[in-house]
Structure 1
Protein backbone atom coordinates (compact mmCIF):
# COMPACT_ATOMS: atom_id res chain seq x y z
CA UNK A 1 0.00 0.00 0.00
CA UNK A 2 1.33 3.41 -0.99
CA UNK A 3 0.37 5.64 1.93
CA UNK A 4 0.14 8.92 0.02
CA UNK A 5 -1.99 7.42 -2.75
CA UNK A 6 -4.23 5.86 -0.09
CA UNK A 7 -4.51 9.18 1.75
CA UNK A 8 -5.42 11.01 -1.46
CA UNK A 9 -7.93 8.32 -2.42
CA UNK A 10 -9.82 8.64 0.85
CA UNK A 11 -9.55 12.41 0.87
CA UNK A 12 -11.25 12.46 -2.55
CA UNK A 13 -14.00 10.16 -1.25
CA UNK A 14 -14.65 12.53 1.64
CA UNK A 15 -14.53 15.61 -0.61
CA UNK A 16 -17.08 14.11 -3.00
CA UNK A 17 -19.45 13.30 -0.13
CA UNK A 18 -19.08 16.79 1.34
CA UNK A 19 -20.00 18.34 -2.02
CA UNK A 20 -23.28 16.42 -1.99
CA UNK A 21 -24.51 18.12 1.18
CA UNK A 22 -25.79 21.67 1.60
CA UNK A 23 -27.07 21.98 -1.95
CA UNK A 24 -30.35 23.69 -1.11
CA UNK A 25 -30.99 26.67 -3.36
CA UNK A 26 -33.35 29.67 -3.35
CA UNK A 27 -33.97 29.60 0.39
CA UNK A 28 -34.67 32.74 2.40
CA UNK A 29 -31.72 31.71 4.59
CA UNK A 30 -29.48 30.96 1.59
CA UNK A 31 -26.65 33.09 2.96
CA UNK A 32 -26.14 30.69 5.88
CA UNK A 33 -25.90 27.76 3.45
CA UNK A 34 -23.26 29.63 1.44
CA UNK A 35 -21.34 30.46 4.61
CA UNK A 36 -21.44 26.83 5.75
CA UNK A 37 -20.23 25.60 2.36
CA UNK A 38 -17.52 28.27 2.21
CA UNK A 39 -15.72 26.80 5.21
CA UNK A 40 -16.74 23.17 4.79
CA UNK A 41 -15.38 23.01 1.22
CA UNK A 42 -12.26 25.10 1.81
CA UNK A 43 -9.90 22.14 1.66
CA UNK A 44 -7.83 20.80 4.51
CA UNK A 45 -6.36 17.39 5.27
CA UNK A 46 -9.75 15.75 6.07
CA UNK A 47 -7.81 13.81 8.70
CA UNK A 48 -10.70 13.10 11.06
CA UNK A 49 -13.18 11.65 8.55
CA UNK A 50 -10.39 9.58 6.96
CA UNK A 51 -9.43 8.22 10.37
CA UNK A 52 -13.04 7.29 11.07
CA UNK A 53 -13.34 5.38 7.81
CA UNK A 54 -9.95 3.67 8.06
CA UNK A 55 -10.47 2.60 11.68
CA UNK A 56 -13.78 1.07 10.63
CA UNK A 57 -11.98 -0.84 7.86
CA UNK A 58 -9.30 -1.93 10.34
CA UNK A 59 -11.91 -4.25 11.88
CA UNK A 60 -13.59 -5.43 8.69
CA UNK A 61 -16.06 -2.60 8.14
CA UNK A 62 -16.47 -0.67 4.90
CA UNK A 63 -16.70 2.89 3.65
CA UNK A 64 -20.47 2.80 3.22
CA UNK A 65 -21.04 1.95 6.89
CA UNK A 66 -18.79 4.81 8.09
CA UNK A 67 -19.20 7.61 5.54
CA UNK A 68 -22.13 9.48 7.11
CA UNK A 69 -20.54 9.70 10.54
CA UNK A 70 -17.25 10.72 8.94
CA UNK A 71 -18.98 13.63 7.18
CA UNK A 72 -20.63 14.61 10.46
CA UNK A 73 -17.22 14.59 12.12
CA UNK A 74 -15.81 16.95 9.49
CA UNK A 75 -18.76 19.29 10.03
CA UNK A 76 -18.04 19.36 13.78
CA UNK A 77 -14.37 20.06 13.09
CA UNK A 78 -15.24 22.84 10.62
CA UNK A 79 -17.68 24.48 13.04
CA UNK A 80 -14.91 24.55 15.66
CA UNK A 81 -12.54 26.25 13.21
CA UNK A 82 -15.10 28.91 12.25
CA UNK A 83 -15.66 29.77 15.90
CA UNK A 84 -11.95 29.50 16.75
CA UNK A 85 -11.16 32.19 14.15
CA UNK A 86 -13.68 34.70 15.55
CA UNK A 87 -12.44 37.97 17.12
CA UNK A 88 -13.66 36.83 20.54
CA UNK A 89 -11.40 33.79 20.33
CA UNK A 90 -8.21 33.55 18.21
CA UNK A 91 -9.12 36.50 15.95
CA UNK A 92 -7.56 35.10 12.75
CA UNK A 93 -7.95 36.62 9.31
CA UNK A 94 -6.90 33.62 7.24
CA UNK A 95 -7.58 29.90 7.31
CA UNK A 96 -6.25 27.45 4.69
CA UNK A 97 -5.03 30.34 2.55
CA UNK A 98 -8.35 32.17 2.31
CA UNK A 99 -10.17 34.75 4.37
CA UNK A 100 -11.81 33.35 7.48
CA UNK A 101 -15.58 32.97 7.49
CA UNK A 102 -16.34 36.06 9.56
CA UNK A 103 -14.19 38.19 7.24
CA UNK A 104 -16.38 37.18 4.29
CA UNK A 105 -19.85 36.84 5.83
CA UNK A 106 -19.53 38.95 9.00
CA UNK A 107 -19.40 37.74 12.59
CA UNK A 108 -23.10 37.08 13.13
CA UNK A 109 -23.42 34.86 10.06
CA UNK A 110 -20.14 33.08 10.91
CA UNK A 111 -21.39 32.26 14.40
CA UNK A 112 -24.65 30.91 13.00
CA UNK A 113 -22.80 28.98 10.27
CA UNK A 114 -20.75 27.22 12.95
CA UNK A 115 -23.89 26.51 14.97
CA UNK A 116 -25.64 25.18 11.87
CA UNK A 117 -22.78 22.83 10.96
CA UNK A 118 -22.76 21.42 14.49
CA UNK A 119 -26.52 20.93 14.42
CA UNK A 120 -26.47 19.39 10.94
CA UNK A 121 -23.78 16.94 12.07
CA UNK A 122 -26.17 15.60 14.69
CA UNK A 123 -28.98 15.42 12.13
CA UNK A 124 -26.78 13.25 9.92
CA UNK A 125 -25.75 10.99 12.78
CA UNK A 126 -29.32 10.55 14.03
CA UNK A 127 -30.47 9.74 10.48
CA UNK A 128 -27.74 7.09 10.30
CA UNK A 129 -28.78 5.59 13.64
CA UNK A 130 -32.38 5.34 12.37
CA UNK A 131 -31.26 3.95 8.99
CA UNK A 132 -29.41 1.18 10.82
CA UNK A 133 -32.43 0.20 12.94
CA UNK A 134 -31.10 1.91 16.06
CA UNK A 135 -28.07 -0.38 16.08
CA UNK A 136 -26.21 -0.11 19.39
CA UNK A 137 -22.86 0.33 17.70
CA UNK A 138 -24.10 3.43 15.85
CA UNK A 139 -25.61 4.83 19.03
CA UNK A 140 -22.33 4.18 20.87
CA UNK A 141 -20.29 5.77 18.06
CA UNK A 142 -22.50 8.87 18.08
CA UNK A 143 -22.24 9.05 21.86
CA UNK A 144 -18.42 9.04 21.66
CA UNK A 145 -18.45 11.85 19.10
CA UNK A 146 -20.92 13.90 21.16
CA UNK A 147 -18.96 13.61 24.41
CA UNK A 148 -15.63 14.29 22.71
CA UNK A 149 -16.99 17.47 21.10
CA UNK A 150 -18.50 19.07 24.20
CA UNK A 151 -17.34 20.66 27.42
CA UNK A 152 -15.84 17.38 28.60
CA UNK A 153 -13.88 17.20 25.36
CA UNK A 154 -12.82 19.69 22.67
CA UNK A 155 -14.72 22.67 24.08
CA UNK A 156 -13.22 22.01 27.50
CA UNK A 157 -9.76 22.20 25.96
CA UNK A 158 -10.65 25.42 24.15
CA UNK A 159 -11.85 26.98 27.40
CA UNK A 160 -8.63 26.20 29.26
CA UNK A 161 -6.65 27.44 26.24
CA UNK A 162 -8.51 30.77 26.30
CA UNK A 163 -8.24 31.38 30.04
CA UNK A 164 -4.55 30.47 29.93
CA UNK A 165 -3.63 33.21 27.42
CA UNK A 166 -0.98 35.66 28.65
CA UNK A 167 -0.33 33.41 31.68
CA UNK A 168 2.53 31.17 32.65
CA UNK A 169 1.06 27.67 32.77
CA UNK A 170 2.57 24.39 33.90
CA UNK A 171 3.06 21.29 31.80
CA UNK A 172 -0.03 19.64 33.31
CA UNK A 173 -2.24 22.47 32.02
CA UNK A 174 -0.57 22.41 28.61
CA UNK A 175 -1.06 18.66 28.35
CA UNK A 176 -4.75 19.11 29.22
CA UNK A 177 -5.15 21.67 26.43
CA UNK A 178 -3.44 19.42 23.90
CA UNK A 179 -5.30 16.30 24.97
CA UNK A 180 -8.73 17.90 24.91
CA UNK A 181 -8.60 20.72 22.37
CA UNK A 182 -6.78 18.72 19.70
CA UNK A 183 -6.67 15.03 20.59
CA UNK A 184 -10.31 14.45 21.54
CA UNK A 185 -11.77 14.78 18.04
CA UNK A 186 -8.97 12.65 16.63
CA UNK A 187 -9.66 10.04 19.29
CA UNK A 188 -13.41 10.23 18.68
CA UNK A 189 -12.89 9.65 14.96
CA UNK A 190 -10.78 6.54 15.51
CA UNK A 191 -12.92 5.08 18.30
CA UNK A 192 -16.24 5.76 16.55
CA UNK A 193 -14.96 4.11 13.38
CA UNK A 194 -13.60 1.11 15.27
CA UNK A 195 -16.93 0.65 17.08
CA UNK A 196 -18.82 0.61 13.77
CA UNK A 197 -16.25 -1.83 12.39
CA UNK A 198 -16.78 -4.21 15.31
CA UNK A 199 -13.74 -3.73 17.55
CA UNK A 200 -13.82 -5.29 21.01
CA UNK A 201 -13.18 -3.46 24.28
CA UNK A 202 -9.49 -4.35 24.44
CA UNK A 203 -8.90 -3.19 20.87
CA UNK A 204 -10.74 0.06 21.54
CA UNK A 205 -8.65 0.75 24.65
CA UNK A 206 -5.46 0.12 22.66
CA UNK A 207 -6.59 2.54 19.96
CA UNK A 208 -7.31 5.20 22.59
CA UNK A 209 -3.61 5.26 23.45
CA UNK A 210 -2.67 5.48 19.77
CA UNK A 211 -5.15 8.33 19.34
CA UNK A 212 -3.72 10.20 22.31
CA UNK A 213 -0.17 9.89 21.05
CA UNK A 214 -0.87 11.06 17.50
CA UNK A 215 -3.13 13.82 18.82
CA UNK A 216 -0.36 15.18 21.05
CA UNK A 217 2.23 14.85 18.30
CA UNK A 218 -0.15 16.66 15.93
CA UNK A 219 -0.36 19.63 18.31
CA UNK A 220 3.39 19.68 19.00
CA UNK A 221 3.97 19.82 15.25
CA UNK A 222 1.48 22.69 14.98
CA UNK A 223 3.39 24.57 17.70
CA UNK A 224 6.65 24.02 15.84
CA UNK A 225 5.18 25.11 12.51
CA UNK A 226 3.84 28.30 14.11
CA UNK A 227 7.48 29.33 14.50
CA UNK A 228 9.33 27.77 11.57
CA UNK A 229 6.54 27.11 9.06
CA UNK A 230 5.98 28.76 5.67
CA UNK A 231 2.99 31.11 5.64
CA UNK A 232 2.25 30.32 1.98
CA UNK A 233 2.13 26.59 2.72
CA UNK A 234 0.32 26.85 6.06
CA UNK A 235 -2.26 29.25 4.67
CA UNK A 236 -2.20 31.43 7.79
CA UNK A 237 0.10 33.85 9.58
CA UNK A 238 3.22 32.55 11.29
CA UNK A 239 3.95 33.50 14.90
CA UNK A 240 0.34 34.08 15.92
CA UNK A 241 0.80 32.11 19.17
CA UNK A 242 3.75 34.31 20.14
CA UNK A 243 1.81 37.47 19.31
CA UNK A 244 -1.05 36.33 21.54
CA UNK A 245 1.37 35.27 24.29
CA UNK A 246 0.03 31.73 24.26
CA UNK A 247 1.88 28.99 26.07
CA UNK A 248 2.88 26.27 23.60
CA UNK A 249 5.02 23.17 23.69
CA UNK A 250 7.89 25.16 22.24
CA UNK A 251 7.56 28.12 24.63
CA UNK A 252 7.52 25.84 27.67
CA UNK A 253 10.04 23.16 26.67
CA UNK A 254 12.07 24.79 23.89
CA UNK A 255 12.43 23.77 20.23
CA UNK A 256 14.85 20.87 20.75
CA UNK A 257 12.69 19.23 23.43
CA UNK A 258 9.61 19.77 21.26
CA UNK A 259 11.24 17.99 18.32
CA UNK A 260 12.48 15.18 20.56
CA UNK A 261 9.08 14.63 22.17
CA UNK A 262 7.38 14.80 18.78
CA UNK A 263 9.48 11.83 17.69
CA UNK A 264 8.89 10.04 21.01
CA UNK A 265 5.10 10.22 20.72
CA UNK A 266 5.31 9.12 17.11
CA UNK A 267 7.32 6.04 18.09
CA UNK A 268 4.82 5.21 20.84
CA UNK A 269 1.98 5.41 18.32
CA UNK A 270 3.83 3.23 15.81
CA UNK A 271 4.62 0.57 18.42
CA UNK A 272 0.95 0.37 19.42
CA UNK A 273 -0.24 -0.18 15.86
CA UNK A 274 2.28 -2.98 15.36
CA UNK A 275 0.16 -5.02 17.78
CA UNK A 276 -2.57 -5.29 15.14
CA UNK A 277 -2.22 -8.04 12.55
CA UNK A 278 -4.50 -6.48 9.94
CA UNK A 279 -2.87 -5.06 6.80
CA UNK A 280 -4.93 -1.92 7.43
CA UNK A 281 -2.71 -1.18 10.45
CA UNK A 282 0.12 -0.13 8.12
CA UNK A 283 -1.89 2.94 7.16
CA UNK A 284 -1.94 4.06 10.80
CA UNK A 285 1.78 3.38 11.19
CA UNK A 286 2.55 5.48 8.10
CA UNK A 287 0.12 8.15 9.29
CA UNK A 288 2.08 8.62 12.52
CA UNK A 289 5.22 9.19 10.44
CA UNK A 290 3.39 11.56 8.07
CA UNK A 291 2.01 13.74 10.88
CA UNK A 292 5.51 14.39 12.25
CA UNK A 293 6.88 15.37 8.84
CA UNK A 294 4.02 17.47 7.52
CA UNK A 295 4.56 21.10 6.51
CA UNK A 296 0.99 22.30 6.97
Structure 2
Protein backbone atom coordinates (compact mmCIF):
# COMPACT_ATOMS: atom_id res chain seq x y z
CA UNK A 1 0.00 0.00 0.00
CA UNK A 2 1.15 3.58 -0.59
CA UNK A 3 2.07 5.71 2.41
CA UNK A 4 -0.89 7.97 1.52
CA UNK A 5 -3.95 6.90 3.52
CA UNK A 6 -6.72 5.39 1.41
CA UNK A 7 -10.32 6.65 1.35
CA UNK A 8 -12.06 6.18 4.69
CA UNK A 9 -8.90 5.95 6.78
CA UNK A 10 -8.63 8.76 9.29
CA UNK A 11 -5.31 10.58 9.26
CA UNK A 12 -3.68 12.64 11.98
CA UNK A 13 -2.33 15.22 9.50
CA UNK A 14 -2.83 15.85 5.79
CA UNK A 15 0.08 16.98 3.66
CA UNK A 16 0.89 20.66 4.06
CA UNK A 17 -0.42 23.05 1.40
CA UNK A 18 2.50 24.23 -0.76
CA UNK A 19 3.15 27.97 -0.64
CA UNK A 20 2.57 28.24 -4.40
CA UNK A 21 -1.04 27.11 -3.92
CA UNK A 22 -1.90 29.75 -1.34
CA UNK A 23 -3.52 33.08 -2.14
CA UNK A 24 -3.53 36.45 -0.38
CA UNK A 25 -5.21 36.39 3.04
CA UNK A 26 -8.93 36.98 3.53
CA UNK A 27 -9.94 39.63 6.05
CA UNK A 28 -12.09 37.60 8.51
CA UNK A 29 -14.12 40.69 9.33
CA UNK A 30 -15.20 40.99 5.70
CA UNK A 31 -15.31 37.32 4.71
CA UNK A 32 -14.09 37.97 1.18
CA UNK A 33 -11.28 39.46 -0.89
CA UNK A 34 -11.68 41.57 -4.03
CA UNK A 35 -9.00 41.53 -6.73
CA UNK A 36 -8.85 43.80 -9.76
CA UNK A 37 -8.30 41.79 -12.94
CA UNK A 38 -8.30 44.64 -15.44
CA UNK A 39 -10.34 47.62 -16.59
CA UNK A 40 -13.56 47.40 -14.55
CA UNK A 41 -13.25 43.64 -13.96
CA UNK A 42 -12.92 42.17 -10.47
CA UNK A 43 -12.72 38.74 -8.86
CA UNK A 44 -14.32 38.07 -5.48
CA UNK A 45 -13.28 35.09 -3.34
CA UNK A 46 -13.69 33.75 0.17
CA UNK A 47 -10.56 31.60 -0.27
CA UNK A 48 -12.55 28.60 -1.47
CA UNK A 49 -15.01 29.91 -4.09
CA UNK A 50 -14.60 32.59 -6.74
CA UNK A 51 -16.92 34.81 -8.77
CA UNK A 52 -16.49 37.94 -10.91
CA UNK A 53 -18.16 41.25 -11.56
CA UNK A 54 -17.67 43.74 -14.37
CA UNK A 55 -18.44 47.46 -14.04
CA UNK A 56 -19.59 49.44 -17.08
CA UNK A 57 -21.03 52.90 -17.66
CA UNK A 58 -24.59 52.15 -16.53
CA UNK A 59 -24.24 49.17 -14.23
CA UNK A 60 -22.61 45.94 -13.15
CA UNK A 61 -22.51 42.41 -14.59
CA UNK A 62 -22.09 39.66 -11.97
CA UNK A 63 -20.78 36.22 -12.94
CA UNK A 64 -21.89 33.56 -10.41
CA UNK A 65 -23.04 34.04 -6.82
CA UNK A 66 -21.72 31.25 -4.56
CA UNK A 67 -23.95 30.95 -1.50
CA UNK A 68 -20.89 30.75 0.75
CA UNK A 69 -20.39 34.51 0.37
CA UNK A 70 -23.13 35.83 -1.94
CA UNK A 71 -24.48 37.97 0.90
CA UNK A 72 -21.20 39.92 0.76
CA UNK A 73 -21.29 40.53 -3.01
CA UNK A 74 -23.28 43.81 -2.77
CA UNK A 75 -20.69 45.12 -0.29
CA UNK A 76 -17.83 44.03 -2.54
CA UNK A 77 -19.43 45.82 -5.49
CA UNK A 78 -20.20 48.90 -3.38
CA UNK A 79 -16.48 49.25 -2.65
CA UNK A 80 -16.02 49.91 -6.37
CA UNK A 81 -19.24 51.52 -7.62
CA UNK A 82 -22.78 52.51 -6.65
CA UNK A 83 -24.17 51.38 -10.03
CA UNK A 84 -26.93 48.74 -10.04
CA UNK A 85 -26.55 45.07 -10.99
CA UNK A 86 -28.07 44.90 -14.46
CA UNK A 87 -26.96 41.39 -15.52
CA UNK A 88 -26.11 38.07 -13.89
CA UNK A 89 -24.29 35.34 -15.84
CA UNK A 90 -24.49 31.70 -14.75
CA UNK A 91 -21.32 29.68 -15.37
CA UNK A 92 -23.38 26.49 -15.05
CA UNK A 93 -26.31 25.12 -13.07
CA UNK A 94 -24.60 23.80 -9.91
CA UNK A 95 -26.00 25.34 -6.75
CA UNK A 96 -22.67 25.80 -5.02
CA UNK A 97 -21.82 28.45 -7.66
CA UNK A 98 -25.13 30.21 -8.32
CA UNK A 99 -27.29 29.38 -5.29
CA UNK A 100 -26.84 32.85 -3.78
CA UNK A 101 -28.24 34.81 -6.72
CA UNK A 102 -31.61 35.60 -5.07
CA UNK A 103 -29.89 38.22 -2.93
CA UNK A 104 -28.83 40.11 -6.07
CA UNK A 105 -32.24 40.50 -7.70
CA UNK A 106 -33.34 43.82 -6.16
CA UNK A 107 -32.85 45.69 -9.45
CA UNK A 108 -34.33 42.86 -11.57
CA UNK A 109 -31.18 42.06 -13.57
CA UNK A 110 -31.19 40.15 -16.84
CA UNK A 111 -29.97 36.60 -16.15
CA UNK A 112 -27.93 34.95 -18.92
CA UNK A 113 -27.21 31.21 -19.20
CA UNK A 114 -26.54 28.48 -21.71
CA UNK A 115 -29.73 26.72 -22.82
CA UNK A 116 -28.86 23.40 -21.17
CA UNK A 117 -28.28 25.20 -17.87
CA UNK A 118 -31.78 26.64 -18.08
CA UNK A 119 -33.27 23.24 -18.88
CA UNK A 120 -31.64 21.74 -15.80
CA UNK A 121 -32.73 24.65 -13.64
CA UNK A 122 -36.30 24.20 -14.86
CA UNK A 123 -36.10 20.58 -13.78
CA UNK A 124 -34.67 21.50 -10.36
CA UNK A 125 -37.41 24.05 -9.59
CA UNK A 126 -35.09 25.64 -7.02
CA UNK A 127 -36.12 29.14 -5.88
CA UNK A 128 -32.49 29.87 -5.06
CA UNK A 129 -31.61 29.42 -8.74
CA UNK A 130 -34.13 31.40 -10.80
CA UNK A 131 -34.38 30.69 -14.51
CA UNK A 132 -32.35 32.75 -16.95
CA UNK A 133 -34.17 35.36 -18.99
CA UNK A 134 -31.69 35.17 -21.90
CA UNK A 135 -30.31 31.85 -23.15
CA UNK A 136 -28.00 30.78 -25.94
CA UNK A 137 -26.80 27.57 -27.55
CA UNK A 138 -23.16 27.88 -28.65
CA UNK A 139 -22.13 31.51 -28.17
CA UNK A 140 -23.35 34.85 -26.90
CA UNK A 141 -21.62 38.24 -26.94
CA UNK A 142 -22.67 40.25 -23.91
CA UNK A 143 -21.81 43.86 -24.82
CA UNK A 144 -22.69 46.48 -22.21
CA UNK A 145 -21.39 50.02 -22.65
CA UNK A 146 -17.70 49.75 -23.42
CA UNK A 147 -17.37 46.28 -21.81
CA UNK A 148 -17.69 42.84 -23.39
CA UNK A 149 -17.98 39.28 -22.15
CA UNK A 150 -17.78 36.51 -24.76
CA UNK A 151 -19.71 33.42 -23.64
CA UNK A 152 -19.22 30.08 -25.41
CA UNK A 153 -20.11 26.43 -24.94
CA UNK A 154 -18.47 23.16 -26.03
CA UNK A 155 -19.70 19.72 -25.07
CA UNK A 156 -20.48 18.76 -21.49
CA UNK A 157 -17.29 17.96 -19.56
CA UNK A 158 -17.65 18.96 -15.91
CA UNK A 159 -21.40 19.49 -16.39
CA UNK A 160 -23.88 20.23 -19.15
CA UNK A 161 -24.09 23.95 -19.88
CA UNK A 162 -20.74 24.83 -18.27
CA UNK A 163 -19.44 27.77 -20.32
CA UNK A 164 -16.24 29.63 -21.13
CA UNK A 165 -16.53 33.29 -20.06
CA UNK A 166 -13.90 35.51 -21.69
CA UNK A 167 -13.21 39.20 -21.12
CA UNK A 168 -11.09 40.09 -24.18
CA UNK A 169 -10.09 43.60 -23.10
CA UNK A 170 -8.87 42.32 -19.71
CA UNK A 171 -7.53 39.02 -21.15
CA UNK A 172 -9.31 37.08 -18.42
CA UNK A 173 -10.87 33.66 -18.89
CA UNK A 174 -13.36 32.20 -16.39
CA UNK A 175 -14.20 28.51 -16.64
CA UNK A 176 -15.50 26.92 -13.47
CA UNK A 177 -14.66 23.50 -11.98
CA UNK A 178 -12.13 22.56 -14.65
CA UNK A 179 -8.73 24.01 -13.60
CA UNK A 180 -7.70 24.37 -9.94
CA UNK A 181 -4.58 26.58 -9.79
CA UNK A 182 -1.95 24.98 -7.58
CA UNK A 183 -4.33 22.29 -6.33
CA UNK A 184 -5.38 18.76 -7.05
CA UNK A 185 -8.72 18.88 -8.88
CA UNK A 186 -11.73 18.17 -6.72
CA UNK A 187 -12.46 14.47 -6.34
CA UNK A 188 -12.94 12.30 -9.45
CA UNK A 189 -11.64 15.06 -11.74
CA UNK A 190 -14.10 17.56 -10.31
CA UNK A 191 -16.95 15.07 -10.72
CA UNK A 192 -16.56 15.39 -14.48
CA UNK A 193 -19.52 13.87 -16.30
CA UNK A 194 -17.38 13.30 -19.40
CA UNK A 195 -13.71 12.65 -18.63
CA UNK A 196 -12.41 12.61 -22.24
CA UNK A 197 -14.15 15.96 -22.79
CA UNK A 198 -12.66 17.24 -19.51
CA UNK A 199 -9.17 16.43 -20.80
CA UNK A 200 -10.00 18.14 -24.11
CA UNK A 201 -11.16 21.29 -22.33
CA UNK A 202 -8.00 21.60 -20.23
CA UNK A 203 -5.93 21.22 -23.41
CA UNK A 204 -8.05 23.90 -25.08
CA UNK A 205 -7.67 26.27 -22.14
CA UNK A 206 -3.90 25.89 -22.40
CA UNK A 207 -4.14 27.37 -25.91
CA UNK A 208 -6.29 30.39 -25.02
CA UNK A 209 -4.95 33.94 -25.07
CA UNK A 210 -5.44 34.97 -21.44
CA UNK A 211 -3.37 36.48 -18.67
CA UNK A 212 -5.65 35.56 -15.75
CA UNK A 213 -7.75 32.46 -15.19
CA UNK A 214 -10.69 32.43 -12.78
CA UNK A 215 -11.45 28.80 -11.99
CA UNK A 216 -14.32 29.21 -9.54
CA UNK A 217 -12.39 27.62 -6.67
CA UNK A 218 -9.29 27.88 -4.46
CA UNK A 219 -7.58 30.90 -2.95
CA UNK A 220 -6.07 32.61 -5.97
CA UNK A 221 -6.51 33.27 -9.66
CA UNK A 222 -4.56 31.18 -12.16
CA UNK A 223 -2.01 31.59 -14.93
CA UNK A 224 -1.01 29.70 -18.05
CA UNK A 225 1.64 27.96 -15.95
CA UNK A 226 -1.07 26.61 -13.62
CA UNK A 227 -2.95 25.15 -16.57
CA UNK A 228 0.22 23.48 -17.87
CA UNK A 229 0.91 21.97 -14.44
CA UNK A 230 -2.60 20.53 -14.18
CA UNK A 231 -2.40 19.21 -17.74
CA UNK A 232 0.93 17.52 -16.96
CA UNK A 233 -0.59 15.89 -13.87
CA UNK A 234 -3.59 14.69 -15.85
CA UNK A 235 -1.41 13.15 -18.53
CA UNK A 236 0.67 11.40 -15.86
CA UNK A 237 -2.56 10.22 -14.22
CA UNK A 238 -3.81 8.78 -17.50
CA UNK A 239 -0.52 7.04 -18.20
CA UNK A 240 -0.28 5.64 -14.67
CA UNK A 241 -3.83 4.29 -14.75
CA UNK A 242 -3.30 2.75 -18.18
CA UNK A 243 -0.08 1.05 -17.05
CA UNK A 244 -1.77 -0.22 -13.87
CA UNK A 245 -4.69 -1.66 -15.83
CA UNK A 246 -2.26 -3.51 -18.10
CA UNK A 247 -0.04 -4.74 -15.28
CA UNK A 248 -2.73 -5.97 -12.85
CA UNK A 249 -4.23 -9.46 -13.21
CA UNK A 250 -7.89 -9.93 -12.17
CA UNK A 251 -8.36 -12.37 -9.30
CA UNK A 252 -4.68 -12.59 -8.40
CA UNK A 253 -4.26 -13.30 -4.67
CA UNK A 254 -8.00 -13.62 -4.12
CA UNK A 255 -9.28 -16.44 -1.90
CA UNK A 256 -10.35 -19.34 -4.11
CA UNK A 257 -13.78 -19.43 -2.48
CA UNK A 258 -14.42 -15.85 -3.65
CA UNK A 259 -13.64 -16.42 -7.31
CA UNK A 260 -17.19 -17.49 -8.07
CA UNK A 261 -18.29 -14.00 -6.97
CA UNK A 262 -17.64 -11.73 -9.98
CA UNK A 263 -18.30 -8.57 -7.96
CA UNK A 264 -15.59 -9.60 -5.46
CA UNK A 265 -13.14 -10.43 -8.26
CA UNK A 266 -13.72 -7.07 -9.87
CA UNK A 267 -13.60 -5.11 -6.60
CA UNK A 268 -10.26 -6.70 -5.78
CA UNK A 269 -8.97 -5.91 -9.28
CA UNK A 270 -10.09 -2.24 -9.20
CA UNK A 271 -8.52 -1.70 -5.78
CA UNK A 272 -5.18 -3.14 -6.86
CA UNK A 273 -5.17 -1.04 -10.04
CA UNK A 274 -5.75 2.09 -7.97
CA UNK A 275 -2.97 1.17 -5.53
CA UNK A 276 -0.55 0.75 -8.43
CA UNK A 277 -1.67 4.07 -9.94
CA UNK A 278 -1.23 5.96 -6.65
CA UNK A 279 2.21 4.43 -6.12
CA UNK A 280 3.32 5.62 -9.55
CA UNK A 281 2.14 9.21 -9.03
CA UNK A 282 2.99 9.93 -5.39
CA UNK A 283 6.78 10.42 -5.71
CA UNK A 284 6.44 13.15 -8.34
CA UNK A 285 3.20 14.90 -7.43
CA UNK A 286 2.60 14.61 -3.67
CA UNK A 287 4.64 17.76 -2.99
CA UNK A 288 3.55 19.70 -6.09
CA UNK A 289 -0.23 19.87 -5.90
CA UNK A 290 -2.08 20.94 -2.75
CA UNK A 291 -4.40 18.21 -1.39
CA UNK A 292 -2.74 15.51 -3.49
CA UNK A 293 -3.26 13.06 -0.64
CA UNK A 294 -6.91 14.04 -0.20
CA UNK A 295 -8.11 13.09 -3.68
CA UNK A 296 -5.48 10.98 -5.44
CA UNK A 297 -7.38 7.74 -4.75
CA UNK A 298 -10.49 9.24 -6.32
CA UNK A 299 -8.54 10.49 -9.34
CA UNK A 300 -6.99 7.09 -10.03
CA UNK A 301 -10.35 5.38 -9.67
CA UNK A 302 -12.07 7.83 -12.04
CA UNK A 303 -9.27 7.57 -14.58
CA UNK A 304 -9.14 3.78 -14.64
CA UNK A 305 -12.90 3.60 -15.07
CA UNK A 306 -12.83 6.11 -17.90
CA UNK A 307 -10.05 4.20 -19.67
CA UNK A 308 -12.05 0.98 -19.38
CA UNK A 309 -15.44 2.22 -20.54
CA UNK A 310 -15.31 5.62 -22.31
Shorter-chain TM range is 0.3 to 0.5
Q: What TM-score, normalized to structure 2?
A: 0.31
TM-score (norm 1): 0.33
> Which has a greater percent of helix?
1
User: Which one scores higher on RCO, CA 8 angstroms, separation ≥ 6?
Assistant: 1
Structure with the larger strand share: 2
